[in-house]
Amino acid sequence: MATKRLGIGFIGSGFISKFHIQSFVAVRDADILGVWSPNKGRAQEAADLARSLRLGDCRAFDSIEEMASSPDIHAIWLCGPNHKRVENLEAIIRANKAGKSHLVGIAVEKPLARNAAEARRVMELIEESGLLHGYLEDQLFEPGIVRGREIVWRRAAALTGRPYLARCAEEHSGPHAPWFWQGDLQGGGVLNDMMCHSVEVARFLLTDPAKPRNSITPLKVSATIASLKWSRPEYAEQLRQTMGKEVDYLTRPSEDFARATIEYKDEVGNPLIAEVTTSWSYVGAGLRLTSELLGPEYSLSINSLDTSLKLFFSRRVRGSEGEDLVEKQNAEQGLMPVVANETSEYGYEGENRYFVNCFLDGTQPEINCYDGLEVTQLLMTAYKSAEEERTIAFDPKEIESFVPAVARGTWSGKQA
Ligand SMILES: NC(=O)c1ccc[n+]([C@@H]2O[C@H](COP(=O)([O-])OP(=O)(O)OC[C@H]3O[C@@H](n4cnc5c(N)ncnc54)[C@H](O)[C@@H]3O)[C@@H](O)[C@H]2O)c1
């Protein structure tokens, strides 16, 4: 009997598409068969990467509609920039509606959209299409998070009571492409870009694996945002030089630091707290993901830079700059941690295995775009809290049309 296989097309051929493609060497029963991005040369490069990794007879398509209508494409991984999310999805849905596609599912990168209204629009389009949908939150598939959560809940929480506090952080020295730095295109600054991960990981750790996502309820959010580093004149100038004149942090900064406290309750009213923090102003070896989970008689902690592999290069090793030891690497000398298999450690392998299996089985993924919608609503509540300098009750209706000042280009980043 022929094995059922999932043919996948990628929208976007940038940083994250290449990460995903690399991870597929560890995923069975799927072939990467298409890439579309506006720059056909780049799309071809990503397609060549997939072919070179023996992931399938991959080619660059001329349009989203053409790729979505191809008989061998069954699922699309939507990995374009945030400001094109809705437009990209509309193109997929057009092809699907015209009855030309063989699509069964769509997987959407984080954040689901730039704000709550756009995230609602994404959901309307997906619901209308009837396609299965997944929300690409890789960190829920980090082996340490998955294994740690499972053991804590099975052994410690079962005997001594549920965990009550999760602390999660994601930090690095700043994103790689200009659009991330532009509030209007990205939807905000580091809060929108990276707190989506930490919010979701904290919720995941605090949720009993035997119970549904909504067994814990978000009640209130308090948050702070700040521009700590990149609006200093010398760093604003550095940003302008490397990212172009559209990125002007003297006049239109985005936040490079954000923190939020989200108060939840469980189904019997126990208080739970998620403390999340994130920054583009952390200079260490590279990307650092940290998580803690605390309960009455136990704790869990993870730090992605506490690697078992470390290298020491003396001052005489003066190599070129690279990102070959760790994502967002900052140095090539001294004592350096190396994340030996980043696609596994950050969760991409587990994530892609999960969504491929769901789509092949025709089952709706448990981690899906409704989760992405709720995360967006929580992030918008956090922006509102930071702007109004007060704790805000979580009420999706209240932030339905809210657009952060950072995204509107009216945030000064200065203290009153
Ligand atoms: N899960 C994670 O940890 C993670 C990490 C990085 C990025 N992301 C998300 O992935 C998405 C892409 O980010 P990236 O880092 O790959 O960005 P990138 O700038 O490296 O790549 C973006 C890609 O989109 C293409 N593009 C440009 N215009 C487009 C359009 N109109 N329609 C579709 N594609 C278009 C570009 O050609 C490029 O190939 C973003 O939503 C980002 O938030 C997630």
Q: Are residues 120 and 27 part of one domain?
A: yes
- The answer to the question of residue 285 being in a domain is yes
From atom 31 of ligand 1, which residue's Cα is the shortest distance away?
A: 84
Q: How many domains does the chain have?
A: 2
pLDDT tens track for 48-81: 999 999 999 999 999 999 999 999 999 999 999 9
361 and 380 housed in the same domain: no
Q: The domain that contains 93 carries what CATH number? A: 3.40.50.720
Q: Are residues 31 and 73 in the same domain?
A: yes
pLDDT of residue 3: 59
- My answer on whether 147 and 121 are in the same domain is no
- 121-170 pLDDT, tens digit per residue, is 999 999 999 999 999 999 999 999 999 999 999 999 999 999 999 999 99
d(CA 200, CA 264): 13
Ligand 1 centroid distance, CA of 178 (Å) = 11
**Residue 151 belongs to a domain with what CATH number?**
3.30.360.10
Residue 208 and residue 123 share a domain: no
Nearest-atom number in ligand 1 for the CA of 18 is 16
Q: Are residues 61 and 99 in the same domain?
A: yes
**In terms of domains, do 54 and 92 share one?**
yes
75-109 pLDDT, tens per residue?
A: 999 999 999 999 999 999 999 999 889 999 999 99
Verify that 63 and 34 share a domain, yes or no: yes
Residues with CB under 6 A from ligand 1: 11-17, 37-39, 42, 79-82, 84, 88, 109-110, 138, 177
Q: What is the rounded CA–CA span in Å between residue 289 and residue 148?
A: 15
Query: 314 in helix, strand or coil?
Result: coil
- The rounded Å distance from CA 80 to ligand 1 centre is 4
Q: How far is CA 399 from the centre of its chain?
A: 21
Protein residue closest via CA to atom 5 of ligand 1: 16
DSSP string, 5-32: -EEEEEE--SHHHHHHHHHGGG-SSEEE
Closest CA to 285 of 347, 327, 348, 230: 327
- Are 276 and 360 within one domain? no
Provide the residue type at 168 as one letter.
C
Residue nearest to atom 8 of ligand 1 (CA): 16
Residues 337 and 362 in one domain: no
Are 118 and 210 found together in one domain?
no
* 64 and 168, same domain (yes or no): no
Is 77:9 a contact under the CB 8 Å cutoff? yes
**pLDDT band at residue 1, thresholds of 50, 70 and 90?**
very low
- DSSP label at residue 187: S
Does residue 415 sit within a domain?
no
For residue range 20-57, what is the model confidence (pLDDT) as tens digits?
Answer: 999 999 999 999 999 999 999 999 999 999 999 999 99
Domain assignment of residue 289, yes or no = yes
Pairing of strands 271-279, 257-266: antiparallel
Please state, in angstroms and rounded to a whole number, the distance separating the CA atoms of residues 305 and 303.
5
Side chain identity at 177, as an amino acid letter?
A
Please give the average per-residue pLDDT across 310-327, as a whole number.
94
Centre of ligand 1 to C-alpha 219, Å, is: 32
Residues contacting 32, CB < 8 A, separation 6+: 8, 10, 21, 24, 50, 55, 56, 58
Residue 2 has pLDDT above 90, yes or no: no
Q: Where are the alpha helices (DSSP H) in 257-341?
A: none
pLDDT at 335: 95
Q: CA 255, CA 399: separation in Å to the nearest integer?
A: 20
For residue 212, report the distance from its CA to the centre of ligand 1, in Å.
31
Nearest CA to ligand 1 atom 22: 14
What digits encode the pLDDT tens for the residues 330-369? 999 999 999 999 999 999 999 999 999 999 999 999 999 9
**What DSSP character marks residue 326?**
S
> What range defines the domain where residue 11 resides?
6-137+349-367
Q: What is the dihedral of CA 19, 21, 24, 30, to 10 degrees?
A: 150
Q: Is the pTM of this model over 0.85?
A: yes
How far, in Å, from the CA of 81 to the mean position of ligand 1?
4
Q: pLDDT class for 209, splitting at 50, 70, 90? A: very high
Pocket test for ligand 1, best of 13, 16, 77 (most atoms within 8 A of CB): 16
For residue 414, tell me if it sits in a domain.
no
pLDDT tens-digit map of 159-168: 999 999 999 9
Q: Tell me, yes or no, whether 413 lies in a domain.
A: no
Instruction: Give CA torsion, residues 127, 128, 132, 136, to 10 deg.
Output: -60
- Between the CA of 78 and the centroid of ligand 1 the distance, in Å, is 9
Helices (H), 24-103: 40-52, 64-69, 85-97
Please report the sign of the dihedral spanned by the C-alpha atoms of residue 338, residue 350, residue 43, residue 84.
negative
